[in-house]
Each structure stands twice: as structure tokens, then as C-alpha cells.
Amino acid sequence: MSPADQPAGPTAPTYVWEPTTDFLAAKYGLPRESLVRFDVNTSPLPPDLRDVLTGPFDPPLSEYPPSDYAGLVAAAAESYGVAPDEILPTAGADEALDLTARAFLREGSVAVGAVPTYAMYGIVTEQRGARFRAVSRREADEGFGLDIPAMAEAARGADLVWLCEPNNPTGTAEPPERIGELLDRLAANAARDGLAAPAVAVDEAYAEFVGSSVVALRGRYPRLVVIRTLSKAHALAGARVGFAVAQPETLAPILSFRAPASVSTVSAALATAALRRPELAAANVARIAEQRARLIGEMTRIGWRPYPSRANFILVRFGSVKIAAAAAEALLRRGLVPRTFGLDHPLADCLRLTVRSARENDRLIRAAMEIPA
């Protein structure tokens, strides 16, 4: 190939976004307002923050946000029970994941993750030229739990360990003391091997749905990074606000890769208000827990096989890829968009369905009655 024939540049591993509502509406010949996104784990209704949206903003929108995001940082520090210098605001949890990979991985590094899990860990790892070492979770009938000895062994010599608590897409959560046990093993192995202990990123995007966090373990394991978001329980996915939470010396290399003002003034104001009004997220979490129990009950009654969930989504097993694909297509034809998994995915015979409003869930239940499991 001559230089002129070369492709424009290397193609990095990329997250493939779900199709847009407009695309699906056109494909299935449905009005766009009739579609319900059961695939993206968002909350059904945003919090009422109209008072914030109408401004005025400080600083005004003609200026950049303050580089320290002091108001947002103070609200997040109080909410997560840490000091302000342990909070780094990011454009959603996904930016925090990317910055964490940039901070701790380089060409030839190894990062470890427990699969099946959120695809971004593998993607941001490989984008750094590092290798993603996948450790299988325990079987479904063992609650998809972490294989702690296998994780600790795989992490020998690794630079980073990714954890997702509660885990997407299984909806399961590890008791915090089990995470503590893993951290102790990582520290002990590193001491034995004469190496630095790996950084450990715990993605707590869905933590509010379980009501616990491992953030208190950062004293015991200083290289712990906890990642939080306003996208799920706070119902602000469109605002794109998340955080990396860690001791200042662990946060410093992560901060060094963030663009100076990646969170807009509008988003920072919305997120600050949402964190200062925790009753809004608490009410959302309670509504979702009630609807989740109802959905799981109804699905079970009609012969679907949902797994228990600690998050705002439910994993349903259909037992064969063909039946899962047929169920997905039948749902889509009714305007209900499920999350499917690729053919080579360990959950290829499953669908993942977000818990939505009572009325939207009614549509899902009615559809499920007509769709064989």
C-alpha cells in the first residue's frame, strides 16, 4: 500500500451506541412518541429543576465554568461523604472511566474485569493499547458473583482492576465486605510480588439503588477510585455529569487528563441542585424499586425468567438465542426497545429491560403476555 492508500488513522475500539429513537421509529413504522426505551437504563422522568434551568447562571453563560467547580464539588462531597479535594467532576461516568484508563494504563499494561459487565471497561482499556483480562463471574445460579480468588490472581502484575457495583448487565451487587476482601488480596499479592498494587476503579453508576458504596474503603486501599453519576437514580442522563472520587494523590493523575471545563455551567448547576435535593432521587429510587418488584412478579407469573435485580433494569433469560431474538423483535414491533446482546456474548440468550414508569411497564407486561419465553 502506498502512503496515499493508507486509511486515515488507526481505528480505536469504539462503543457502539444504541440506535436512536428516530431511527427505530422509521424502521418499525411507528410514531416516535410511542417508542419506549427499555434499553438504556435511564429513569422515566427528569427531576423538576425548572427553577435552575431558567437561570441566572453564575458565572453567566458567556464565561467558562469555574475551574474548581466549587459549588458542585461541595454538593458532591457532602452527598458521597468525602472531602472536596477527593471529588473530580466529569462529563458523565463515562468520562471518568476514560480518564481513569488514561491515568493508569499505557501500551502493554493489563487491566482486569469480571465479565459479563459494562463494555466500556474493555473499550477504554484497549484504546490505551492495554490488554483487558476478562475473569468470568460465577454462574447465574450463584448470583453472577465475583470469583475473588480468580480476580486476585488475574490482577497480579496488572495496573488496573475494573469493578461494576451493582453490575450492569446482571443487576447483581457484591456485598461491600467482599470488595474489601478482594482489595486486601490485591494488596497482599502486590506486597508478596514486590510490585505496586493495581489501581481499582469501582463504577457505582447504580449505587443509589442498593444504598451502599465502597467509598469508605479508600483509607484501607489508597488506589481506590469510585465512579458515580447523575445519569441513573438522579434521572439526569442528558446533563452528562459524573465524578471520580478518590484520595487526592490518586485523583491527581486522573485530573491531569480532563479538559479544563468538560462539564458545562448548565449541567453543573443542574447537578448541584439535584445533589442538594436528595429527596428527588430517593423518591425516584423508591418508585423504581416498587415497579421493579411488580415487573419481576408479573414476568415470572407469565413464564418469563427474570433474574433478581438490585438496579433499575432486569436481565431476562430466554434459554436460546433464537427465542431471545424473536422476543426482541416482537417487542420492537410494539415500540418497546429492549437491550440485546451480540451472538458471541455470554448473555446472548437474554434481554435486559429497564424499569420504567407504571404506564410504560404496563405496556411491557401486556406485550410479554403475547410473547413466548
Ligand X SMILES: Cc1ncc(COP(=O)(O)O)c(C=O)c1O
Our CA angle for 46, 49, 53, nearest 5°, is 115
Span 212-241, contacts to ligand X by CB under 6 A:
229, 231, 237
Binding flags for ligand X, 36-75, as an x/- string (CB under 6 A): -----x----------------------------------
CB atoms within 10 A of CB 46: 18
Torsion sign across C-alpha atoms 20, 21, 25, 28: positive
164 binds ligand X (CB under 6 A): yes
Q: With respect to ligand X, which residue has the nearer C-beta, 237 or 373?
A: 237
Q: With respect to ligand X, which residue has the nearer C-beta, 164 or 336?
A: 164
Beta bridge partners of 250: none
Q: Which residue is nearest to ligand X (CB)?
A: 92
Q: What is the DSSP letter of 29?
A: T
Measured CA distances, 7 to 2, 3, 10, 12, 311 (Å): 10, 9, 7, 13, 42
Binding flags for ligand X, 3-42, as an x/- string (CB under 6 A): --------------------------------------x-
Q: With respect to ligand X, which residue has the nearer C-beta, 162 or 318?
A: 162
Q: With respect to ligand X, which residue has the nearer C-beta, 190 or 281?
A: 281
Q: With respect to ligand X, which residue has the nearer C-beta, 208 or 298?
A: 208
Residue 87 to residue 98: CA distance in whole angstroms: 16
Span 244-283, contacts to ligand X by CB under 6 A:
none
With contacts defined by CB under 6 A, name the span among 92-100, 147-155, 284-292, 318-326 that binds ligand X.
Answer: 92-100
Supply 146's cell numbers: 465475583
Q: With respect to ligand X, which residue has the nearer C-beta, 171 or 335?
A: 171
With contacts defined by CB under 6 A, name the span among 21-29, 66-74, 89-97, 149-157 that binds ligand X.
Answer: 89-97
92 binds ligand X (CB under 6 A): yes
With contacts defined by CB under 6 A, name the span among 90-98, 102-110, 191-199, 298-306 that binds ligand X.
Answer: 90-98
Our CA angle for 142, 206, 274, nearest 5°, is 165
CB of 326 to ligand X, least distance (A): 25
Among 86, 159, 174, 203, binds ligand X (CB under 6 A): 203
Residue 66 to residue 358: CA distance in whole angstroms: 40
Supply 131's cell numbers: 490488554
CB of 165 to ligand X, least distance (A): 9
CB of 306 to ligand X, least distance (A): 18
Q: With respect to ligand X, which residue has the nearer C-beta, 172 or 231?
A: 231
Give DSSP secondary structure letters for 31-86: -GGG-EE-SS---SS----HHHHT---SS-TTSPPPTT-HHHHHHHHHHHTS-GGG
Binding residues with ligand X: total (CB under 6 A): 13
Cβ pair 189, 156 in contact under 8 A: yes
Measured CA distances, 9 to 1, 16, 110, 173, 261 (Å): 14, 19, 24, 40, 27
Residue 254 to residue 195: CA distance in whole angstroms: 21
Residue 223 to residue 201: CA distance in whole angstroms: 8
With contacts defined by CB under 6 A, name the span among 77-85, 86-94, 105-113, 136-144 that binds ligand X.
Answer: 86-94
With contacts defined by CB under 6 A, name the span among 9-17, 91-99, 214-222, 320-328 that binds ligand X.
Answer: 91-99
Among 65, 242, 306, 338, binds ligand X (CB under 6 A): 242
Name every residue whose Cβ is closer than 8 Å to that of residue 353 and which is 6 or more positions away in sequence: 38, 39, 295, 313, 314, 316, 338, 339, 364
CB of 233 to ligand X, least distance (A): 11
Span 94-153, contacts to ligand X by CB under 6 A:
94, 118
Q: Which residue in the block uniquely carries the three cell numbers 497480579?
A: 156
Query: What residue ranges bind ligand X (CB under 6 A)?
Result: 41, 92-94, 118, 164, 168, 203, 205, 229, 231, 237, 242
